[in-house]
Each structure stands twice: as C-alpha cells, then as structure tokens.
Structure 1
C-alpha cells in the first residue's frame, strides 16, 4: 500500500506521535523519508522480511522504497515520534545528506539502538524538529529545517564510514544528477516540459537520470512536476485573487480537469474548497 503524505507547514516536514496497532497490519510505503523514535512501550518494527524489536530510545530509518509497518506489544503498547519529510528538501541543501536513506534494503540495518552513541546524538535534534513544528514560534520553519539538517548530517557521518569508496562515489553521483534535474524542474515546472528534454540538456540518458531521481527523492519525474505545480497553485490560491482557471494554466496544467484531479489527489480537497478553507487541510499520516 502506498500512502500519500501532505504537509500543512511552510516546509515539507511533519512531526507526529503514533501508536501502532497490537496486530500486524499490511506494510506501506510513501514517497517521503522518515525517522521514527520509540518514546515508550515495546513492540516490533518490520521492514520487508526484516524484523526488529522496539523499545524506548530506539530509532528507525525509513526510505521511500522499503515496505514497513510497526506493531505494538498488547501489554505495553509502543508509542513513536515520527519525523516525516520530503527528500527534495535535502536535495536542495546537500545531496550527500540523502545517502543514509539510499540504502539497499537487504543488507541495511534500519534500527539504531536506544542508548547508543548515535541515538544520543540524534534524539535531541528529533525533539527539536517536533518542538518547532508544534510551537510555531517566529522563525520556526527555518529552525525546524536547520534541526532536520543537523539530524541528517549526523546520520551521514555515521553511515559514510560504512560505505566503500565505490558505493559512496556512485551514490553521490546519482544524488548530484537528481539535484540537477530537480533544479531544472523547479525553474521550469510552469512550462510544458518532458524528461527527455531535460535529460538531453543535462547530457544524461533518460533511464539514468530517471533512476537516479527516483532513488534520491522517491518521486517519478511526472509525480514531481505535478507536486511542484500543485505547491505553486497552493501559494497562488492563498496569496492572490487570480481565478482558479488562471492559476491552473499559470502553474503549467494543460486542462482544468487534470488540475482538479491532481490537486484533489495531493491536497485532499478541490482548489475552491482549499481557498475557502483559508489553507487549512489535514495531513495524511500513518
């Protein structure tokens, strides 16, 4: 099952607490990246065929490809804090920050034990992200983003030493290709664009840049273009008095039917309803 995650913050980061069911539910995937911290209780966390025991202080890394689900102990249910964020946020800052999430599932350990040196480094930054998004004090988007970068930077330093030079070089190169493609899409998403056109401009094959982009961000090219167009439409709906039709075509959509369908898929309501709500809509979480 693939979940779609939306964000109600100015930056694409969610922080929320969640208690899993006491029985094993179907696993899911999502385009966004995720770090989970077990706050209390006990349980299990499944990643594909891998199974980890969970207890207070344990952390779990989730990328955009590996099916996963947590399960609570019926007698002592686990409760988690999850930080969920869009890979494109890191891609714009420093592609290397995505390396800890670009793992090959079979030989990667998603579990960071509570009480370990790494867990002690990461937990304060997780709590800082959650606090900024909860309190929404002046400047909180920048503070939450800064705390997330600190968190992922420490993950990078830990996992970087566990990669061979060849693995590290290949992953960084893929991330750089993804970053270059993302920059072009961001500049020109309001225009009719194709993956082949942008791949040619970058001097890369369509298959190579498409694979690199999916691995780095969790998005297919067409999904990412649509996402940027919807994000632009959201800003225009909230900040201008342009008609919905003007916004749709200005953002790069070729028909109103396509605009309404994709907007509703991404936001969970129509453009008109979004404008009437004043920009308040619910996040899709676990």
Structure 2
C-alpha cells in the first residue's frame, strides 16, 4: 500500500487517522513508510507474514517498511494509525533515542517483526492508556484542523507522544528469549556514549547475552557489527555538525570520539568519499541554491 494512498504531501510526510475495523483487513505491505498503531479498544488477530497473534486494548506497536500484515476476527476493534516516513522521526536530533524504550519500540521491534515474527511488549496500564489517548486526540485535532502553524504543532505533539511511549516501554519486563528486542539497553548506551571507547564485552553485559549471542543478534538487528555501527553513528553525527554548525573540524572530530583529527579525516574520507572540509563546502553550496 503506497504512502500516496494517504497523503501526497512530500514536504510533510505524515498521516494520522482513527480506524474501526468490523471486518477482516486485507494483508498489505507498507511502501517506504512506518506505521505506529495504538489499539484503543477491543481485540483482534494480528496477521504478520502468515502468522497470527492476539492483540487487544493497550497494545502499541510499530510496523516498519516492507512488512506484510493485516487484521482478522475484530471485536469492537478501534485503533489509531500514525503513518510517517522515516525522515519525519529524526533520530539523531532526539535525546530520547538514548533510551532503551525508544530503541526497543521504534528500532528493534519493527526489525524483529520483519525477521522473527511479531512482538509487542508495550502494553499500557489504564492510566497510561488515558494519557496516550489524550495526546493522540490533541495530535489528531491539530492534523485535521490545520490552524496556523499546524505542521509545527503536529511535529511537536508527535514527538511528545514518542517520548511518552518510550518512557512507558519497560524493557525490564521483557523475557530473556525474545531475541533482538533485548538489545535495546546496548543500543541506547551506544546512542548516549558513542564518543567514548567501549568493548563488545561491556555492551553484551547490558543485554545479559553472551558475547557470541550478542554479536549474532546485533548483526541481525542492525546489519553491522558493534564497532561498525558506532563508526557509522560517529560519521553520521559529524555530517550533521558539518552541515549545521561552524565548529572547526578538529572540534567536530573530538565531539564524535576522535582525538586525532587526521585519523578522523581519513575515516570520514573512506566512509563518505570526500573530505570533511569538502563535505561542508558542498553542503553550504546546496543550501545556498
């Protein structure tokens, strides 16, 4: 199902709606967008890649790109769908990305759903459900009323919702055998401390997996080995700082965990195919157009 079926606004890639399903919802796959689903009432069978899973009021989950899913056997089943392209949720500008809850719900659960089957470990308590429903109502009103500054308010309301859900996600309740979702504390630690030196053993300890299990699951979840993932995060952060600030390259290198600016330049050149200074110059030229 293409994103254009919901909105053709490429400048604001976001869509929100309430849904009541009285009949089976056909299987469909998301085309380059992410869907946050909040079950507001009732229950249904969530079908993901042919497997069936029971869901009910209070369940919250994220369906990523290219994951086939649908609903069957709905009973008083009401949900809220929030659909967005990944760039709408800018991970690198959000400190909430440094929490285990965020990494579990928005990064690892969608990946695990795609590779190992549907898992949703965010189940709201009654008071949490009320708070989230109020936030959704405010978000929905801003999106559909479109008063002055509505895009700014929608983005702000959405980010508040992301923060609330991330705080509510209690990774300590996850059983040890649920696969890559247990990596959340390690990914959160990396987000907060990527400028620092760390070892695979230290990261594995955060997940209670053996180093061998941790390395296998980490590669499965992210596509990278831990040190490759950290380097990628450092370079991505450097690119952002080169574009958005006028900090000297030596200071950017230090902020990204490189005490040797010459080594930083070599790593940057290898990963981006261009020197940090040339990258900044190109970014400035494009922004001026």
TM-score normalised to structure 1 length:
0.52
Please show how residues 151-170 of structure 1 align to structure 2 within 5 Å: 151-159=161-169, 161-162=171-172, 163=182, 165-169=185-189
Tell whether 2:81 aligns with 1:102: no
Contact 1:42 1:54 in 2 (8 A): yes
Distance 2:77 2:47 in 1: 14
Tell whether 2:72 aligns with 1:71: yes
Match of 1:204 among 262, 271, 285: 271
Residue 168 to residue 57, structure 1, CA distance change in 2 (3 Å) = closer
Across the two proteins, how many residue pairs are aligned to each other? 197
Please report how far the alpha carbon of residue 147 of structure 1 lies from its aligned counterpart in structure 2 after TM superposition: 1.1
The corresponding residue for 2:93 is 93
Please tell me the root mean square deviation across aligned C-alpha atoms, in Å.
4.3
Could you tell me which runs of 5 or more consecutive residues in structure 1 were left unpaired when the two chains were aligned.
Answer: 188-198, 207-231, 233-250, 252-286
The corresponding residue for 1:44 is 45
Residue 117 to residue 63, structure 1, CA distance change in 2 (3 Å) = farther
The corresponding residue for 1:135 is 145
Could you tell me which runs of 5 or more consecutive residues in structure 2 were left unpaired when the two chains were aligned.
Answer: 173-181, 195-228, 245-265, 274-286
Distance 1:33 1:96 in 2: 18
Distance 2:61 2:50 in 1: 15
Please report how far the alpha carbon of residue 168 of structure 1 lies from its aligned counterpart in structure 2 after TM superposition: 3.0
Q: Show CA shifts across 1:161-194 (max 9, x none).
A: 455543434577658468549859x99xxxxxxx
TM-score normalised to structure 2 length:
0.51
Match of 1:113 among 99, 103, 123: 123
Residue 37 to residue 158, structure 1, CA distance change in 2 (3 Å) = closer
Contact 1:58 1:119 in 2 (8 A): no
Q: Larger relative contact order (C-alpha < 8 A, sep ≥ 6)?
A: 1
Residue 109 to residue 147, structure 1, CA distance change in 2 (3 Å) = same
Distance 1:170 1:108 in 2: 25
The corresponding residue for 2:132 is 122
- SS at 1:26's partner residue? strand
- SS at 2:271's partner residue? coil
Larger Rg: 2
Please report how far the alpha carbon of residue 115 of structure 1 lies from its aligned counterpart in structure 2 after TM superposition: 4.0
Please show how residues 230-269 of structure 1 align to structure 2 within 5 Å: none
Residue 155 to residue 143, structure 1, CA distance change in 2 (3 Å) = same
Please report how far the alpha carbon of residue 130 of structure 1 lies from its aligned counterpart in structure 2 after TM superposition: 0.9
Please report how far the alpha carbon of residue 93 of structure 1 lies from its aligned counterpart in structure 2 after TM superposition: 3.1
Distance 1:181 1:66 in 2: 32
Distance 1:111 1:7 in 2: 33
Distance 2:235 2:26 in 1: 33
